[in-house]
Amino acid sequence: MDRREFVESCALGAGSLAATLAGNTWALDAQARSHGRVLLVDALGKPLKAASLRAQTNYVFHYPFEATPVFLLDLGKAAAATQLVTRDKQPYEWPGGVGPRRSLVAFSAICAHKLVYPTKDLSFISFRKGAAVNPQTPSKGNDLIHCCADHSQYDPARGAQVLSGPAEQPLCAVLLEHDAKSDQLTATGTLGGELFDDFFKKYEMKLSLEVGPHAKQAVLRQSTVRELDQYCRNPVRC
């Protein structure tokens, strides 16, 4: 092979690789992504103790961005590792719950269908203890995250796997670390299909009014955890 053929071969190879990567950027969505270590704190700014969480109660904090809410739950039972796939059929393994009973889990509170999310005024999505009651979409189980907008149901004990409704993938998981000595919780990253770009695009104007110019700013150092009923004025039940 002469020098010209070698250069052309390298160019073709690089172009092929670039095309492959460009065509599969969605595959990166299934990998664990570090968004920085953020300590979870209570309303007084003190480190949240896992033992203070009431079982099967909705808690909300924001991560990895100032405008992206997350559900924090103590399921009251162990949550085992689960094999899942994104809407683009990219597989990943959710590691299960953390804490003394492996019952503590966290998931993005942005519905994977129409990006419905809890605001301070209204929330159509939340964890429901027992069976969600809706004649249009009978519950596929108990203790699920239910979105009233189009009745997607997610099982938080199995990585927020979709059990019913139009959602095409599980809720994006937020990875937690539990310090057994201090009983503190730290958010470290995300796992699964992230929808943050779509979320910011759809709600750009709304978020600018709710959060101001810092909606896309990464949460740094700590994030405040509140019960959903305290964070939101009108959590909708359906």
Q: Are residues 170 and 105 in the same domain?
A: yes
9 belongs to a structural domain: yes
pTM of the complete model: 0.84
- Can you read off the two tokens belonging to residue 190? 């995300």
Q: Are residues 8 and 126 in the same domain?
A: no
Contact 59, 225 (CB under 8 A): yes
Q: From the centroid of its chain, how far is CA 78? A: 19
Q: In angstroms, rounded to a whole number, what is the distance separating the alpha carbons of residues 176 and 122?
A: 26
Ordered strands of the 152-155 beta sheet: 125-128, 144-147, 152-155, 161-164
pLDDT digits 0-9 by tens, 2-11: 444 433 333 3
pLDDT-based confidence at residue 236 (cuts at 50, 70, 90): confident
2 belongs to a structural domain: yes
pLDDT digits 0-9 by tens, 203-223: 999 999 999 999 999 999 999
The residue segments making up the domain with residue 92 are 31-231
User: Token match 């405008």: residue?
Assistant: 67
pLDDT digits 0-9 by tens, 93-134: 999 999 999 999 999 999 999 999 999 999 999 999 876 655
156 belongs to a structural domain: yes
236 belongs to a structural domain: no
197 belongs to a structural domain: yes
Question: What is the CATH number for 205?
Answer: 2.102.10.10
Q: Are residues 159 and 45 in the same domain?
A: yes
88 belongs to a structural domain: yes
Contact 112, 147 (CB under 8 A): no
237 belongs to a structural domain: no
- Can you read off the two tokens belonging to residue 156? 């938080």
3 belongs to a structural domain: yes
